[in-house]
Chain A
């Protein structure tokens, strides 16, 4: 019974995925990015990052919702398509941690372009990988 349900779900996901490849030809960072960052040997942390270009700067949030982290300084170096993301988050005690990420934008022409690089959360360093949804 479970196997049958799994089959149906897989099939429906397969169908739905066809319509999801919608093009996006505007600013390369605009959109919703989904992925993770992962310290060396540590647990994988889910990331959803919303970014939007307003003509002067990139604005947005990490993991939107009640505990969203507002993006600070986000820069795009169009010569090499390097993206730098800065933000600050508070832990449950109110202590502030800096977030700094630097990544390479890849597969620029695809709506599902990729952003991969290094992620620093406080003193914990790791890698991150994001795909534009």
Chain B
């Protein structure tokens, strides 16, 4: 017997084999990607590794560049290690190019090994073995260019984008984590992983269930982070991604577009045409919510509702529900500095509204570069 499916004839005797094969392929293709997993979930900062080997492959892709080296072990066997050297956009901004390294180079790397005992490591330094010349090092924090007043439109309103006739975008957030500003300093790493889990209470005014869920995520070293599966950085996290963002103010249309360098180059719309905010129950749930903005002096205040429940509010694993309302305040204090403040109001998750903030630095004379999370998922181990 023959089946005709979209013009393809298939013998039914072979059909079950076909179904199993295609089903397996489809299921395999749905395996979550791990290409922008938090550092803490992939690498063990408490262990060090030093490797010497010959470069066999270079993958200069976002969000992390990798090269591969063949490393001889004590018995003469060879293992191929994947070496993560961080975001190539940041490396390039700091003067490093792909051409700094060539296939066949003998290199020495020092760094942190992967948690899962695979042959993968994050390099803190890479040097040519023969000359000891250092090739890559963790990106240095860039010094800000001389501050000038915040640029303004002809009517005097602050411009959130580039000054007239110039280019640039917002990058380099001062913090990649979110916590209640009232808490003061809480020891945690850049991924939001607490140094001491007992500090969880200080991070935000949790309800019992949300505190337990936050601690669960922390204890798992943030390995379940939706961004590790290439999901968009919804909520405040969109302003903490490594590849920055840009405002495009369409004043004649009464809206501001926010283009994200991270989050798979998504964009968000903030309406400034005077429409009401609406309610969470009315909105179609999305990663970036339904946003309405207004200016109060030099600060853009944005009220948002209508978030889906598919992301974390921050890299540390802060939970929320679809009832959350965010109030964001954007203040460009000078040409180079944007102060971002967000108030989280979600009575289903937190016992009171709370506020976190950070600043973001302007990257002058450059454009956001191409970035797609999935790019190097094929070789992550």
What residues of chain A have their CB less than 8 Å away from a CB belonging to chain B? Answer: 1, 3-4, 7-8, 10-11, 14-15, 17-18, 21-28, 30, 53-55, 76, 78-79, 81, 108-109
Could you give 9 example pairs across A and B, Cβ below 8 Å? A3-B12, A7-B3, A10-B23, A23-B231, A28-B209, A30-B309, A54-B348, A55-B347, A78-B213
In the complex the two chains form, is A25's CB within 8 Å of B212's CB?
no
Interface residues of A, dominant DSSP: loop
* B residues 250-306 in Cβ contact with A at 8 Å: none
In the complex the two chains form, is B220's CB within 8 Å of A26's CB?
no
Contacts of A81 in B (CB 8 A): 212
Q: Is B183 an interface residue (CB 8 A)?
A: no
Q: Is B19 an interface residue (CB 8 A)?
A: yes
Measured between C-beta atoms, what is the minimum distance from A81 to chain B in Å? Answer: 8
Cβ-neighbour of B16 out of A7, A14, A53 (below 8 A): A7
In the complex the two chains form, is B321's CB within 8 Å of A27's CB?
yes
Cβ-neighbour of A7 out of B12, B229, B323 (below 8 A): B12
CB-defined interface of B217-233 with A at 8 Å, one 1/0 digit per residue? 10010001010010100
Measured between C-beta atoms, what is the minimum distance from B8 to chain A in Å? Answer: 12
Contacts of A27 in B (CB 8 A): 209, 319, 321, 348-349
Q: Is B164 an interface residue (CB 8 A)?
A: no
In the complex the two chains form, is A26's CB within 8 Å of B12's CB?
no
In the complex the two chains form, is B216's CB within 8 Å of A25's CB?
no
What residues of chain B have their CB less than 8 Å away from a CB belonging to chain A? Answer: 1, 3, 5, 12, 15-16, 18-19, 22-23, 26-27, 29-30, 208-209, 211-213, 216-217, 220, 224, 226, 229, 231, 309-312, 319-323, 347-349
In the complex the two chains form, is B1's CB within 8 Å of A1's CB?
yes
In the complex the two chains form, is B226's CB within 8 Å of A25's CB?
yes
Contacts of A18 in B (CB 8 A): 26-27, 29-30
Cβ-neighbour of B23 out of A14, A24, A78 (below 8 A): A14
Contacts of B29 in A (CB 8 A): 18
Q: Who on chain B is nearest to A25 by CB? A: B309
- Bound CA–CA A23/B220 (angstroms): 17
